[in-house]
């Protein structure tokens, strides 16, 4: 990869939309996509006629129970008679969809792109977690009867062992995010809880308790992205995409050190390089690290180089990542507080940064002035790192 010195047209986000995050929605998946898309278009002051390309993101087809899920969502995503594509990097998809929209626009092929992320996890019975059995290698791993939470617990245990963090230190992230989510209108699991509540909740796979984990969720999120010229016409406050980064690690996750997310670090370096950021820990004002589990936010803060390896858990204790702290993380409430409709959750994070950078986040607006922001998502078997850097 090289920096493109010829690039004249920047890429902007000009609108965002979100459905409520729910345990069970009446809406079909395509209706959820439509609701979010409609809101995003309205917020940008555009209609569907203005859109020339559509990028869809959604995680496993086995949640919604639809083969060809991208094709299924097409009409709800406004893709009728338009170029439509679905990109897919597991849980990392949510942040990856706007990244893909970036190259649709930066290449000059499209001018106005509708970005849709949707997930309906409730159709799968008896429990959506059952679906995760099929993400494992069918020959070497599936016969052991794994549950998705195993792999997270293993990573968390390794992080604890290597970095000296305790369960109660990590639980602080869950407390912070669920509290932040109280101000979010889409939130599913917002609450005022204590570290003790986390430690006393049901132990699923030690060291992971129920309140360490984000919930099963139905929901959708959408963005409208345009080229610089179009953005200048539409709005006075576009949010710019300064850099994108994405990496896929090898599939053999058990052949790797689990304490540090190398997959994310490589993606972050790619995005920072494109954005011209040399010292992310100083230059980034607000971040939305991916937090399906509480330790995962710490892990990702370190991968994004917003804290030194093994130091994020110490900074949480000091309130460094609170909304009024030095470097607010997950001011939205994150996946732990707002909910985790896999792909839609990542796009929700990008939408949150969009609102933060326009000072439109209302009660959720962070205290400090904001100029540069970063969001990331993770996916697959500890493999996919997707990073987007935004500025106002």
- Which of 82, 232 has the CB closer to other proteins? 82
Q: Which of residues 372-391 bind other proteins (CB under 8 A)?
A: 379-381, 383-384
39, 38, 90, 33: which is closest to 60 by C-alpha? 90
Nearest to 290 by CA among 276, 304, 278, 280: 304
Contact between 107 and other proteins per CB under 8 A? yes
Q: Which span sits near other proteins by CB under 8 A: 106-114, 170-178, 278-286, 315-323?
A: 106-114
Q: Does 35 bind other proteins (CB under 8 A)?
A: yes
Closer to other proteins by CB, 188 or 320: give it.
188
Q: Please check whether residue 215 is in contact with residue 192, taking contact to mean a CB–CB distance below 8 angstroms.
A: no
Measured from the CB atom, the residue of 152 and 320 that comes closer to other proteins is 152
Binding residues with other proteins: total (CB under 8 A):
149
Taking CB under 8 A as the rule, does residue 23 contact other proteins? yes
Using rule CB under 8 A, residue 203 touches other proteins: yes
Residue 144 binding other proteins, by CB under 8 A: yes
- What's the residue count for the chain? 392
**In degrees, to the nearest 5, what angle opens at C-alpha 9 toward C-alphas 7 and 15?**
140
Closer CB to other proteins, 66 or 389, in the complex = 66
Residues 288-347 that bind other proteins (CB under 8 A): none
Q: Which of 165, 171, 186, 239 binds other proteins (CB under 8 A)?
A: 186
* Angle ∠(173,189,297) on CA atoms, nearest 5: 25
**Min CB(310)–other proteins separation in Å:** 15
270 lies in the site for other proteins, by CB under 8 A = yes
Residues 56-85 that bind other proteins (CB under 8 A): 59-62, 65-85
Q: How far apart, in whole angstroms, are the C-alpha atoms of residue 190 and residue 383? A: 29
At 105, give phi and psi (nearest 5°).
-85, -45
Residues 223-262 that bind other proteins (CB under 8 A): 245-258, 262
Please list, in sequence order, all residues whose beta carbon lies within 8 angstroms of the beta carbon of residue 238, skipping any fewer than 6 positions away.
12, 13, 14, 226, 228, 231, 232
Task: Measure the CA angle with vertex 209, ends 208 and 215; round to 5°.
Answer: 100
């Amino acid at each position: 990869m090289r920096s493109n010195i010829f690039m004249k047209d920047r890429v902007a986000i000009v609108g965002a939309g979100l459905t409520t995050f729910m345990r069970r929605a009446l809406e079909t998946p395509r209706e959820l996509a439509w609701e979010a898309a409609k809101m995003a278009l309205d917020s940008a002051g555009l209609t569907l006629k203005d859109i020339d390309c559509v990028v869809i993101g959604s995680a496993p087809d086995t949640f919604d129970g639809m083969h060809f899920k991208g094709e299924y969502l097409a009409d709800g995503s406004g893709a009728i008679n338009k170029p439509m594509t679905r990109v897919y990097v597991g849980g990392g998809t949510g942040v990856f969809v706007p990244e893909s929209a970036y190259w649709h626009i930066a290449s000059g092929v499209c001018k106005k792109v509708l970005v849709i992320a949707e997930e309906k996890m409730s159709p799968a019975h008896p429990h959506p977690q059952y679906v995760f059995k099929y993400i494992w290698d069918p020959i070497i791993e599936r016969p052991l009867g794994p549950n998705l939470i195993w792999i997270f617990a293993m990573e968390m245990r390794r992080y604890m062992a290597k970095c000296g963090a305790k369960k109660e230190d990590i639980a602080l992230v869950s407390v912070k995010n669920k509290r932040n989510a109280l101000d979010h209108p889409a939130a599913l699991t917002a609450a005022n809880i204590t570290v003790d509540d986390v430690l006393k909740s049901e132990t699923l796979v030690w060291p992971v308790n129920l309140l360490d984990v984000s919930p099963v969720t139905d929901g959708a999120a959408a963005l409208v992205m345009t080229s610089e010229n179009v953005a200048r016409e539409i709005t006075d406050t576009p949010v710019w995409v300064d850099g994108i980064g994405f990496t896929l690690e090898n599939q053999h996750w058990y052949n790797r050190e689990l304490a540090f997310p190398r997959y994310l670090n490589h993606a972050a370096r790619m995005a920072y390089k494109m954005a011209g950021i040399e010292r992310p820990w100083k230059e980034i004002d607000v971040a939305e690290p991916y937090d399906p589990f509480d330790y995962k936010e710490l892990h990702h803060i370190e991968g994004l180089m917003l804290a030194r390896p093994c130091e994020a858990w110490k900074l949480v204790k000091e309130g460094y990542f609170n909304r009024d702290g030095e470097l607010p993380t997950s001011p939205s409430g994150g996946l732990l507080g707002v909910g985790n409709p896999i792909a839609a959750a990542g796009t929700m994070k990008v939408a949150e940064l969009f609102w933060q950078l326009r000072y439109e986040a209302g009660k959720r607006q962070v205290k400090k002035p904001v100029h540069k922001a970063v969001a990331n998502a993770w996916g697959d078997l500890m493999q996919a790192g997707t990073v987007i850097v935004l500025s106002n």
